């Protein structure tokens, strides 16, 4: 097998650029890294462009033979350990990553869903990844994000989703208000979290609902609050007035789950 030994190789440079959002947007590609994530990408039939493998990890048995057999069905590029470390985005790389083509259905909202989760200006990649992972655990197939929400294909976000990124259709809304108005026309009620209400998340039903989770510091934007059908709050017994956005999203997602399974 041919092995790339130079960090100045053009292919290596192209992969390294995918760490930057602007280049991910240009190429419509992103990186997943690690044995589990690459295996999940294969299992979920993700659109894999290229798999990059550290030759030392093949030779020392770090990557099991079953996975090596599967990745052999794809375009594979082998590199030295030194070169792989320049591509990797983690402290202790496992010697395998994949370049994935972003899904092509990003603009299509599924109006047949019972519950639609919307993120309005979420900035922290850790929060975003946690929310995507939680949404996946509840079998939500789509999530709408405002244009000022952090990039869902940021390497930290992708890692945090634990494979959920392959199963959720991420719909980036250039005009979130218009998207929500269209959902309202399709029979959905828009629900926002707010401290300016006496109504609790436990006071509503969760069929045909759009739940909007707001920015970590500012909450749901004023424009979206004004068009919402309902405002609800998460009851808290202590002195803390607000919750982490990832926690708040998880509570509301699982209130929907509780309503589904009871």
CATH (domain of 84): 3.30.1330.30
Q: What is the tally of structural domains in the chain?
A: 2
Pair 148, 233 in one domain = yes
Say how far apart CA 30 and CA 99 lie, in whole Å: 6
Look up the CATH number of the domain holding residue 209: 3.40.1280.10
Please name the helix (run of DSSP H) or strand (run of DSSP E) that holds residue 66, with its range, or none: helix 65-71
Pair 254, 133 in one domain = yes
Q: What are phi and psi of 115, to 5 degrees?
A: -140, 130
Q: What is the reported pTM?
A: 0.90
Half-sphere exposure at residue 27, Cβ-oriented, CA atoms within 13 angstroms: 19
Last residue of a domain, one of 75, 101, 127: 101
Provide the domain limits for residue 204. 115-261
Pair 79, 155 in one domain = no
Pair 137, 243 in one domain = yes
Contact 21, 27 (CB under 8 A): no
Contact 246, 122 (CB under 8 A): no
Last residue of a domain, one of 38, 66, 101: 101
Pair 90, 124 in one domain = no
Contact 244, 128 (CB under 8 A): no
Pair 167, 247 in one domain = yes
Residue 144 placed within a domain = yes
Residue 108 placed within a domain = no
Pair 120, 58 in one domain = no
pLDDT tens over the chain, length 262 residues: 689 999 999 999 999 999 999 999 999 999 999 999 999 999 999 999 999 999 988 878 788 889 999 999 999 999 999 999 999 999 899 999 999 998 755 568 999 999 999 999 999 999 999 999 999 999 999 999 999 999 999 999 999 999 999 999 999 999 999 999 999 999 999 999 888 888 999 999 999 999 999 998 889 999 999 999 999 999 988 988 778 999 999 999 999 999 888 6
Say how far apart CA 124 and CA 156 lie, in whole Å: 10
Pair 132, 58 in one domain = no
Residue 95 placed within a domain = yes
Non-local CB neighbours of 109 within 8 Å, separated by 6+ positions = 116, 142, 144, 171, 179, 182, 183
Last residue of a domain, one of 101, 124, 146: 101
């Amino acid at each position: 097998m041919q092995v790339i030994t130079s960090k100045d190789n053009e292919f290596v440079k192209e992969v390294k650029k995918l760490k930057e959002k602007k280049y991910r947007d240009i190429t419509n590609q992103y990186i997943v890294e690690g044995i589990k994530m690459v295996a999940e990408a294969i299992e979920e039939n993700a659109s894999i462009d290229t798999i990059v493998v550290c030759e030392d990890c093949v030779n020392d048995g770090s990557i099991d033979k079953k996975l090596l057999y599967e990745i052999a069905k794809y375009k594979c590029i082998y590199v030295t350990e030194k070169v792989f470390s320049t591509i990797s985005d983690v402290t202790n790389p496992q010697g395998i990553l994949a370049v994935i083509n972003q899904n092509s259905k990003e603009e299509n909202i599924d109006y047949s869903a019972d519950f639609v989760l919307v993120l309005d200006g979420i900035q922290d990649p850790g929060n975003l990844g946690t929310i995507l992972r939680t949404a996946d655990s509840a079998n939500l197939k789509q999530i709408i994000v405002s244009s000022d929400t952090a990039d869902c294909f940021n390497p930290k976000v992708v890692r945090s989703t634990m494979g959920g990124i392959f199963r959720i259709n991420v719909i980036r809304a250039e005009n979130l208000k218009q998207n929500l108005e269209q959902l309202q026309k399709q029979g959905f009620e828009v629900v926002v979290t707010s401290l300016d209400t006496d109504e609790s998340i436990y006071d509503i039903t969760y069929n045909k609902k759009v739940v909007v989770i707001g920015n970590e510091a500012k909450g749901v934007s004023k424009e979206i609050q004004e068009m919402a059908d309902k405002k609800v709050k998460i009851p808290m017994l202590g002195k803390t007035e607000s919750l982490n956005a990832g926690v708040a999203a998880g509570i509301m997602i699982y209130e929907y789950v509780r309503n589904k399974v009871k």
